[in-house]
Every structure is written in C-alpha cells, then in structure tokens.
Amino acid sequence: MTTSKRMLTITTAVAALLAAGTARAQAAPEDAAETARPQGEEVVVTAQKREQTLIDVPQSVSVVGGEALERNQATSFKDYLKLVPGLQLNQTTPGFGRLVLRGINTGGVASTVAVYQDETVFGSSSGLVNGGILAGDFDTFDVARIEVLRGPQGTLYGANALGGILKFVTNKPEFDRIELRARGSVEAVKGGRESYLGSAVINLPLAETLAVRASGFYRDIGGFIDSVGTGGSDVARDINGSRSYGGRASLLFQPSAALSIQLSANLQNLDVDASDSVDADPTTGRTLYGRLTQSRFSPEPSDIRYRVYNGVVDYDLGFASIVSATSYSTLAQRFSADLTPSIGAIVEEQLGVANDFAQLQRTEVKRFTQELRLQSPASTMFEWLVGGYYSHEKGRIDQDYLAYTPGTTTPVAGLPLLGLSVLDSRYEEVAGFANATLHLGRVFDLTFGGRYSHNSQRADQTTDGALTGAPLTILPTARSKEDVFTWSVSPKINLGERAAVYARVAKGFRPGGPNALSPDAPPELRTYDSDSLVSYEAGVKAETSDRSFAIDLAAFHIDWSDIQVIGQIGQFGLNFNGGKARSDGFEFTATLRPTRGLVTSLNGAYTDAKLRDDTPEQVGGLRGDRLPYTPEWSVAANADYEWSVGRDAQAFVGGSIRLLSDQPASYNASLRAANGRQASIDGYEVVDLRAGVDFGRFSVEVYAKNLTDVDGKTSLDLAAPPNAPFGAASAGVIRPRTVGVTLGAGF
C-alpha cells in the first residue's frame, strides 16, 4: 500500500470515528447536557508562543497537567516519563540529567532538548559548560502543566532544540481568590532509608489589579545504595541520599485589560551525598554482586543551585500585542568524582604513594536573555508573529585533581601539583524570527516561519600539573562565529472542529564553538562546527465531540548532519564532528473516558535511530550503530477511576505500567571490537499504583512506585580506564520499590 493510500485510510477511519461520536451525542436525550458535562477539559498550550488548543497546533505536543503530576507524585524527570511518549532520560545523579527526544543524542556535552520555564530558556547554548547533562530538573509542585514539543523548534525557540522542548508552565497569581494549600509525604524505599517531603502554596490578591503567588518545598530523599568494600573501597550504607528545597514567587500587576506585568523568581537547591549508580557489567549493564552497591573510595557529594528571574510585560495595542520577556538565570554546580581505580593507580605507580584520588569540579553558567515579540490577535484569516532575541551567557569550569590519604579527605603531603584546569567561556547570540498562520477557509491552514541568528563565542583555558603532561599552560583565546537560518512549514487540513491531519518540515541546529583542548591535541581541533537536522513529520489529531476519546499520532523521519560527538585524547574529553545520522519512528497517545470518572490512556513510541557514517576513531561509533540511550520502543498505559464517597468526598484509584526495550549505551570502540556491537542496557517495566480520598479541605493518598522492584537502568558509564574495581562499569538505576502516604490540606 502506498503512503498516500495509508494516509487516506487513516483519515477515513478518523472521520468515521468522529461521526460515530457525534451521532452518539445527537442521539442522547435533550437533558443529557444537564446531567453529564464534557468528560475532558479543552487542553490549551503555548507551543507557538500564543495560547491555542492542542488540536490547533500542527506538530506533535504532549501535555501533562499539574493535577496529573500531583496524583502521580511526580516531582522530577524520572517521575513523569511514563506520561510522555518517547521522552527518555539518561541520568546517574539527581541534577545530572540528559533528555532525549526522537533519538537525537550522541552523548555530546551540548543539549539537544532545550528546557524552558515559562518564557525563560534555562542552561547553556554553548558546548563548553556541560549543558547536555545539566538539564534543569525543576520541582513540579504548583506547576500548571508541562509541555513537551517534539522535533526541531529552531524557528521560535532557537538553538539547542534539535530534538524538541520541555517547558514548565507555572501557575499565575489570581485576583479573585485566596488560596492556601499544603502537602506532606512520608516514603519508604526497599533496602534504604525513609524519605520526607513537604510543599505549600499561597495565593493572595493584594488589590483588584495586584496579586502574588508563592510556593515552597523541601524533599529529604533517603538513600538505598551501599558501598561494601569491593576492591578495598569504603564500607557504608545508604550513601546516595539527597535533599532538594526551594521556592517560587510571582507578582502580577494588571492595571487594565490591555496591560499586564508579571515578575517571578524561582530558587532551587539540590544537595546529593552520592550518585544513584551501581557497579555493573560493562557489556550488558546488569548489576554485579547481587545487590545495589557501588565501590566508593572517596566521597562523591554534589550540589546544584538553580536561580531563575523573569519579567514579562504584555501590552495590547489593539491591532497586535507587544510582549517583552526579560530573564536572568544562573546554574552553579559543585561535585567530587572518585577516580581512584583509574587515576589513583597511576599516581601510586609513578609517585609510589597509596591514595584515594578525586576530581573536584565547579561549573557556573550565568545567562541574560531578552525577547521582544509583536503578535497579532487570534484571527480566522491570518495570524502573525515577529520578534527579536538576545542572549549573553558566561560559563566557567574549574577542575582540581587531588590525591587523598586513603580513607580520608586529607591531601597526601609532599606531592607536586597533580592537575588543575580552568575554562572560561562566553556565548552571545542575536536573532530575529517570524511565524505566521494563513487560514484558507475552514479546511486548510498553513503555518510557516523562519529565524536568522548570529552567535559568537570565545574560550580561555589554563592547565597545569603533572597529570596534564605539561607545566602551566595558558592557551591562546579561542574564538568562533556562526550565522544560521532555521525554518519550518506546517500545512494542516481540518476534518471538522475535532480532527485534523498535518505535516511539518523543520530545520534545527546546535551551535559549534571553541574546544577545550588537552595540551597535546592537534591545533586543527581548536574549534568544532555546528550540527543541524531537517525533520519530516506527519500526524493526526482527533477527538469525539464529548471528548470521551482522543488520539494523537505522529510519524517522523529526521536527517542529521555534522553530528556533534565527544571523544577522548589522553585524560581529556574533546568535541568532534562526526558524519551523518538518521532517525525514523512514530509516537502515539490515545485517551479513553468510557464512563464518568474513568480515564484510561495508552502512549508509546517506536524509534529507529542510527549512525549513517563512522564517527572519529576517538569516539568509537560505526555506521549502523544505534544512537545512545534510545530504546527501539517504549509503551505506557495509565488508568484512573474517581467516584463519590458520601456527600462531599471523592475517592480515586489508579495505576500505570511503562515498558522499555533494550537500549544502547554510549559508544566504546574496545567493547564494540570485542563483542561485535556496542554495549547495551536491558529493557524493563515499571508498575506504579495509587489511591486516595479527597474530603474537600483535606485529602489522604497512598502510593507505590516500582511495585515489582525491577532493576532498571538509566545510564552505563564506559569510561576507559573504568572508575570501579575489577573492570566494572557504573550504571545509573531507577529507585527500588517505594511506598508512601501523602496528606493534603487546602483552604
């Protein structure tokens, strides 16, 4: 069957489904509307930087509402993966996370999924401050919704959105009510310590035109991984505990219907005692030694500080609105990495001193952005948007290498300077963009847009110490400049008010830039180039008139060129450009509300993402290798049932299951040569259950996460030489079976 015939068949089936839904609605008694309101609310998103219903957006978008996040006890990336088809997380430690959409990932240090909080892009566009593994994992309490936009979003969102966007949309202050709400939870994890979680929010109208909203949270998460003395490592229990705390405040001033000014601030701290990783087989990723353990010689604490400040002015001029979004954000990270099995052995061999060896690193990103948009009101004929964007960021990575007296954190006396490295970077971008939608009658819409951007970068690097292979070295300032044009075109055919088919072709890019060089690296590697991709997507969105059934299906093909990868020269990582890669697949979400109170959904993704060329030899990928950390398929099913208990109480029960197939780990030439394939991680399935009763002002909920206690993996570190004894690798793990209870109160 040809592609056109398949699309015709899908369209015909959707139209028949809608007709059946409409017929059922028309056949209902005249008073049915009085006794049964629509089962699903209209979903509104800001994917195209204006409020639209989800079905009107001609691209693949998933939305997870704040109520669903709370009901699923979802406070971080790991908790809501099951609600977003195709979203993957590569993570070893809270706060160290790499997001992957549609397989667009090769393990480089720059991100391919951009993270936004309202109008603020968070993190770094540069490849010099580890933005790829430091995605902003914001707490989700009092978040209105999370929007996930798949495919390149370069036209409206700029750089580093090759795979898509994850956007936190926060609740705005309200003028018409006082709200005070709090939640507290206690959890127990198998084989570990208890956890204690609390959060609260208050909304206060200060005047008819002025309101404030503030929230805060504290989460003390118990550890569950032990260090048991393997290879002479420390002996300690439950070493991977963490604490996350912070808050958000927002002030909204609306002196007239035409003008609104909103100021907001978000502060979040994350303190971690050790990583969520265990010793594992480097080829299969399976846990070694029969339990969740890691071989820790030197402590590995880390802390991350998020700060986001944003001001948005929206003024309606009549013919159009002008929107100004000004943001300043910082990310500060400190961590200690235990390198005893790899580098400690070298120090002992060369200097004759037994030691525990650690790398101490401090990473900082300070970013200012300004966006100004002029956009038309909603129209049945033509809608448009034009804007300008400016971003300036400063980055710094400061590394020290220390040899400790074994069993302590006291440096060994009498040793020379072993190593230090300081990398200061600057990134500046100026862009102009436009987007428009032309409505040709009720049936056909055409959305198109473009963005021109110019970025300039510089890097200053200093290295010193015995391990760097050279005395104090101050490298010449490295610079780079780029001019890039990205675009998108999206035709859409409306099949009535409740269904549409669409296509989308779009280009995205990720900046290149200066390289952080080892002293012995070839000078031609002083810079690396940007990579870009073109995505081809076709999809169907439909729902019945009573919203009892909805489906969202998208298929895609992506051509990726000059892919950015990271390789190793000596002890230093280096950015390279590889050749080409491609990704093919589809995602779907189907929601069914067969009766009042019951909501079921099924979502899934199939992704076939592979290299089309060999990578540089320092990277280790060969043509035909799958792209890292992308399972070929993933499926999740969710169900919730709610019913009345007495006059004022509502009870609910729910559950979900998420299944993932095997997924490849990061590239490693030695392992591939030995096994004929890259290392991989076994697939797994996770079952969650939940239940509760809402008494109006008070509520109680109980829940179980990872009910069957599967040993699921989120990463596999294939460092050479390995950082665990006896050739083991470090693998990130999901949390074991966790049960908890939550009490809520609201006034």
In this prediction, residue 468 has a pLDDT band, given cuts at 50, 70 and 90, of confident
Instruction: Answer for the pair 548, 538: CB distance below 8 angstroms, yes or no.
Output: no
- 165-169, 194-198, 322-326, 663-667 — which is least confidently predicted? 663-667
Contact partners, residue 50, CB within 8 Å, separation at least 6: 375, 378, 383, 385
Q: Is the pLDDT of residue 30 over 60?
A: no
Q: What is the pLDDT of residue 715?
A: 92
The tokens describing 80, both together, are 């809501």
**Strand duo 164-170 + 113-117: pairing:** parallel
Summarize pLDDT for 229-259 with one digit per residue, the tens.
999 999 999 999 999 999 999 999 999 999 9
Q: What is the pLDDT of residue 463?
A: 87
Q: What is the pLDDT of residue 84?
A: 94
Q: Check the CA dihedral 704-185-178-168 and report its sign.
A: negative
Q: Report the percent of the chain where pLDDT is more than 90.
A: 77
**CB-side exposure of 456: number of CA atoms within 13 Å?**
2
Instruction: Answer for the pair 294, 278: CB distance below 8 angstroms, yes or no.
Output: yes
Tokens 């209105």 sit on residue: 144
3-state DSSP call for residue 356? strand
3-state DSSP call for residue 142? coil
3-state DSSP call for residue 529? coil
d(CA 49, CA 389): 14
d(CA 691, CA 687): 14
Q: Is the pLDDT of residue 719 over 80?
A: no
Instruction: Answer for the pair 639, 600: CB distance below 8 angstroms, yes or no.
Output: yes
Neighbouring CB atoms inside 10 A of 592's CB total: 17
Q: Is the pLDDT of residue 37 over 50?
A: no
Q: What is the pLDDT of residue 19?
A: 40
Q: What is the mean pLDDT of the chain?
A: 90
Instruction: Answer for the pair 113, 99: CB distance below 8 angstroms, yes or no.
Output: yes
Nearest to 391 by CA among 466, 326, 481, 473: 326
Q: What is the pLDDT of residue 723?
A: 83
Instruction: Answer for the pair 728, 295: CB distance below 8 angstroms, yes or no.
Output: yes
For every residue of 340-351, DSSP letters joined together read IIIIIHHHHHHH
Rounded to the nearest 5°, which phi and psi values hold at 107?
85, 10
Q: What is the pLDDT of residue 610?
A: 97
Q: Is the pTM of this model over 0.85?
A: yes
In this prediction, residue 657 has a pLDDT band, given cuts at 50, 70 and 90, of very high
Where residue 407 falls (left for φ over 0; alpha for ψ -120 to 50; beta otherwise) is left
Rounded to the nearest 5°, which phi and psi values hold at 730?
-100, 130
In this prediction, residue 518 has a pLDDT band, given cuts at 50, 70 and 90, of low
Q: Does 46-746 carry CATH code 3.40.50.10440?
A: no
Where residue 255 falls (left for φ over 0; alpha for ψ -120 to 50; beta otherwise) is alpha
